[in-house]
Chain A
Amino acid sequence: MTIFLLILHGLLAVALLGAITHQAIAAWVPAAQPADSFATRARRVSAPAYSGAIVVLYILTMTLGAVLYAEYRINIRIVLEQLEARAVNGSFELKEHFAAIGLGMLPAYWFYWRRPLNPGHARIRAALTLVLAFIVWWAFLVGHVVNNIRGFEA
């Protein structure tokens, strides 16, 4: 059951990572002209269309993470401490706190991305999205490394 939840947690995180990255790119470097290149297409996505999905994906991913966290605390963190993997352990501690701050940002994030968009809030939207993207990327990369840590040791 834990492995199933972990895989589901990872899949939701991948979807969240893709959505928030697309939105952050579109919010910070929007493309004015239509173009055929991959990079320009990524910049031309409709950023507001992602916000609802991002809120739902964030809550689902974090809920699953919270369910799995107890298992991590009992079985994984102790191994990390025995391995003296202090940086990995600290990175995961940061992940839990960063994810919590991101959870608290969701109401404001949702509010500023509400349609019709307020042009005066463009910078706030871009900043909130960038901070949330940083949190999601951090959580994803650290989770991935911790998930593989025994593989590194084998």
Chain B
Amino acid sequence: MAEPSRYSAFPAAFTIAFAIAYAIAVDRNLALFTYHPALGEWGLGVQAPVDGPAMYWYGWLATAGLTAVVTGLAACLVPHRAPRFLNHWVWVVPVGALLFFAWLLRGFFFR
């Protein structure tokens, strides 16, 4: 079996950080950019709708992705114990995020 490299913490840290950052980005609307589909235009940060709906989903993905990359790289700097700790949470946190969104959007299903 291959020895774990110093970068072996990156994937799990990325996944955990992405799920948390994405949930926060959606909940607080922290989009790196906004897309105006009716105009076909992009704008930096969170912008109000112009001539139709504004789409923040792409911006939320970018916010979460950037946060996850930084967190993953930071996790690589922590020796030894980090990967084992991350193993325990790598699937639990995404499941928690799924449940969070089910709760967040419950208004669509229950009046």
Using a CB–CB distance below 8 Å, which chain A residues touch chain B?
66, 69-71, 73-74, 77, 86-87, 89-91, 93-94, 96-98, 100-112, 116, 118, 121, 124, 127-128, 131, 134-135
Contacts and interface: CB of A to CB of B under 8 A. Distances in A.
A70 B55 contact: yes
B37 A87 contact: no
Interface string B78-111: 0000000001001100110110011001011100
B108 A111 contact: no
Interface of B is mostly: helix
Given A94-B105, A100-B60, 14 more contacts: A70-B37, A73-B37, A73-B55, A74-B52, A86-B108, A90-B108, A100-B61, A101-B101, A103-B18, A104-B22, A109-B15, A116-B2, A124-B87, A128-B90
Interface of B: 1-2, 8, 10-12, 14-15, 18-19, 22, 26, 35, 37-38, 52-53, 55, 57-58, 60-61, 64-65, 68, 72, 87, 90-91, 94-95, 97-98, 101-102, 105, 107-109
Contacts, number: 101
Contacts of B35: 70
Name the residue among A90, A111, A118 with the largest chain B CB count within 10 angstroms.
A111
Name the residue among A69, A73, A93, A104 with the largest chain B CB count within 10 angstroms.
A104
A111 B11 contact: yes
B15 A105 contact: yes
A127 B18 CA distance: 18
B91 A86 contact: no
B64 A108 contact: no
Contacts of A112: 11, 90
Contacts of A128: 90-91
Interface of A is mostly: helix
A93 B108 CA distance: 9
B40 to A, nearest CB: 8
B52 A94 contact: no
Contacts of B52: 74
Nearest to A86: B108
B53 A108 contact: no
6 contacts: A86-B109, A93-B105, A93-B108, A100-B61, A128-B91, A131-B95
A75 B15 CA distance: 33
A131 B91 CA distance: 8
A101 B98 contact: yes
Nearest to B35: A70
Nearest to A98: B98
